[in-house]
Amino acid sequence: MTTQRTVLVTGGNRGIGYAIAEQFVAEGHNVAVTARSGEGPAGTLTVRADVTDSASIDAAFTEIEAKLGPVEVVIANAGITRDMLIMRMSDDDFDDVVSTNLGGAFRVVKRASKGMLKARFGRIILISSVVGLLGSAGQVNYAASKAGLVGMARSITRELGARAITANIVAPGFIQTDMTAELPEATQAEYKKSIPAGRFAQVGEVARVVTWLAGDDASYISGAVIPVDGGLGMGH
């Protein structure tokens, strides 16, 4: 049994974030989720926050700290795609994706780091993607944002590592969520052929890796990229 922690998952109202929050609850932790709409799973505290807005993140942390205590584990999961070939990608589609996926993680971790430094403990987990390291045609914005998270986690490791704060990346491959359901069926079949496991993953397969990384057994892992991709990225 790992120590009970106060956990925050961004974008916990659906998809991978919802499953991560559900898994933390099942393992006995105090869990808050941020959501722009909807609610987190049963047993979580849902707070409204938009990760592109520092003031709303600050307000969310203040509410969580008052109700659950200081955040010890933060999962930066909220993310979007705006796919387009680079020639036709608008500046806004580039900026929005980077500001949500990379900037959002920065804003949330920056706010969380205050309490973690004081507590001399913290677990920071950033949800990247296999695409961040492999690249993907039509996803220059998304891949750049997800690759940026790797440099972010490693720099945080160097800045905060001596205070028992770890920062790691979980890099999912294709997971069955709204994000992948949007892909045409023929494209999904094509992708499955390129995945050594021959299938997409269930959200729980990502969630259980995240809770393990946040647990006591993972205290000496930091700056790592943990792929959950059925072999697609071959360990990258």
Chain residues binding ligand NDP by CB under 6 A are 10-11, 13-17, 34-37, 50-52, 77-80, 100, 127, 129, 172, 174-175, 177-180
**What minimum distance in Å lies between the beta carbon of 218 and ligand NDP?**
20
DSSP state for residue 234 in the 8-state scheme = T
Residues paired with residue 30 on neighbouring β-strands, in sequence order: 6
Chain position whose Cβ is nearest to ligand NDP: 15
Instruction: For ligand NDP, give the closer residue by CB, 116 or 206.
Output: 206
C-alpha span between 161 and 7 (Å, rounded): 19
Whether 18 is a known active-site residue: answer: no
**What minimum distance in Å lies between the beta carbon of 37 and ligand NDP?**
5
Instruction: For ligand NDP, give the closer residue by CB, 22 or 50.
Output: 50
**What minimum distance in Å lies between the beta carbon of 147 and ligand NDP?**
12
Would you tell me how many other CB atoms lie within 10 Å of the CB of residue 11?
A: 27
Amino acid present at 85: L
**Nearest of 18, 225, 13, 213 to residue 131 by alpha carbon:** 225
Identify the active-site residue in 18, 142, 191, 220: 142
Instruction: For ligand NDP, give the closer residue by CB, 218 or 232.
Output: 232
Q: Tell me how long the chain is.
A: 236
**What minimum distance in Å lies between the beta carbon of 46 and ligand NDP?**
11
Task: Say what angle helices 140-160 and 91-98 make with each other, to 10 degrees.
Answer: 30
Question: What contacts 36, CB < 8 A, 6 or more positions away?
Answer: 13, 48, 49, 50
What positions carry a catalytic annotation? 142
